Amino acid sequence: MNERTGGRPPGAPLIVLAGLQKAYHTPAGEFYALKAIDLTLQQGEFVALLGRSGAGKSTLINMVAGIDRPTAGEIWVDGHAVHRMSEGQLTRWRGRSVGVVFQSFQLMPMLTCAQNVALPMDFAGLYGSPRQQRARACALLAAVGVAEHADKRPAAVSGGQRQRVAIARALANDPIFLAADEPTGNLDSQTADAVFAVFQQLVAAGKTILMATHDRELASRVSRVLRIEDGRIVEDVQLTSAAEGRALVAEMDA
Ligand SMILES: Nc1ncnc2c1ncn2[C@@H]1O[C@H](COP(=O)(O)OP(=O)(O)O)[C@@H](O)[C@H]1O
Ligand SMILES: [Mg+2]
């Protein structure tokens, strides 16, 4: 099987979740953070996952991104049976095929911005020599509007700039989809807007994005909104216009 393209027939959904469940072991027993999630995402969709704190957003993101493993059910991403992968396969697949963006950026403080972006290329053994990897890292930093900060450490740039660097890092190995867990949660609304605009550009260029968020205003501007409550998807709405998006999301209890 081709690691980059999977075995997905043309036109088939990019992501399929079937009967997905995730239980955490707690002192009080098993706690099901996800309860039988069935979900299909097409390539090119920009999907917001909306829900209260504790609803299961991060758990779902972590399942789809291969960061954590399901208790039951199936996760298919681009033709790959993620639920069947060994730890080694999962690590390898994740490094090459998934881009993840976190609320807290999670950049390596001792590395420059360009080195942070080149790191996943190095881990995956992609994009040639260190020089070539650096050139690609700088091009990605330029694409998200922070080219001039390539040689600074993350602590020397603003929060919005750090998140742009983290997005460039997520794009390092040209993943088929991006998973973003409250990527604007630590940013003021104007900076959040600018980071959101970067996601919109990526979707326009054909990427697929699943973004957990608390921000209804941003959620109203994507192509599809899922609302999760107590580990279940309780609403799934395709948005066709911004006005409709605002109206629908304003009504949601999240
Ligand atoms: N490692 C864990 N161990 C036990 N319970 C957890 C763990 N991670 C998350 N949970 C619980 O699972 C539920 C969903 O959490 P989470 O996916 O982080 O929600 P959200 O991202 O929507 O705030 C919450 O009740 C949370 O307390
Ligand atoms: Mg969360």
Structure confidence at residue 2 (pLDDT) = 43
Q: What is the mean pLDDT of residues 18-28?
A: 97
- Per the model's pLDDT, the better-predicted residue between 85 and 11 turns out to be 85
Nearest ligand 1 atom to the CA of 51 is: 22
Where are the alpha helices (H) located in 206-241, listed in sequence order?
Answer: 216-219
| Own/partner pairs, 85-91, CB within 8 angstroms, 24+ separation | 90/66
Q: Which atom of ligand 1 is nearest to the CA of 55?
A: 22
Name the residue with the closest Cα to ligand 1, atom 24. Answer: 54
Cβ(53) – ligand 1 distance below 6 Å: yes
Q: What is the mean pLDDT of the chain?
A: 92
What does the alpha-carbon distance between residue 208 and residue 177 come to, in Å, rounded to a whole number? 5
Let me know: does 138 contact 114? Beta carbons within 8 Å: yes
The band of 9, judged by pLDDT with boundaries at 50, 70 and 90, is confident
Angle in degrees, CA 75, 170, 79, rounded to 5: 25
Q: Is 33 in the pocket of ligand 1 (CB under 6 A)?
A: yes
Whether ligand 1 lies within 6 angstroms of the CB of 86 is answered as no
To test ligand 1's pocket by mutation, which of 22, 24, 181 has the most ligand atoms within 8 angstroms of CB? 24
In the chain, the domains with their CATH numbers are 44-67+87-251 (3.40.50.300)
- Pairing mode, strands 29-41 and 98-102: unpaired
Give the rounded distance of the alpha carbon of 249 from its chain centre.
Answer: 21
Question: 34: Cβ below 6 Å to ligand 1?
Answer: no
Percent residues over pLDDT 70 in the chain? 96
Burial of 74 (C-beta count, 10 Å sphere; 0-12/13-18/19+): middle
